[in-house]
Amino acid sequence: MRKAGATSVYNNLNYSWNMQYCDAKAGIGYQYNRWRLNPYLALSLYYGYLLSGNQSMGQNNYDIVATKSLMLSDYGLFLGFGFKTALSSYVTAYTEYNYILGLHNIETTAGQSLYNRGFSINFGMSVNISKQKTEKSKQKTEKIIYEKN
């Protein structure tokens, strides 16, 4: 799920757009694991479907999906880079910058164009719920296999 929107003031009238998309992404990335702080890059293709949307012009509100004032589907690229650091064998902290580059004109009015463009800065923690084998456990497993043969 992704929230999107914009605000503007034109001729002393407030305009705002609030939208919610459901995205499907597929991408590639690379993480450089040389130091304690590991930089990474990611590139993803996305397809987004507009689930809900509201446009406000002054005191008037319009449902974007019901009026079909914008295209319901969108596609483009997510570009991101960030840093990860392991706090323990199970917990990792990260910070990342993401940029969305919409490649599809979502405006339905002829002669006008509108593209999803934006950025986000994320901070978080990830928890690994699977047990990773240590070098000692690998050696024990190899020794047991050797003794059975």
- Helices (runs of H) and strands (runs of E) counted in the chain: 2, 7
Indicate the pLDDT class of residue 81, thresholds 50, 70 and 90. Answer: very high
Tens digits of residue pLDDT in 108-132: 888 889 898 999 999 999 898 876 5
Model-wide pTM > 0.85: no
Q: How many Cβ atoms from other residues are within 10 Å of residue 79's Cβ? A: 16
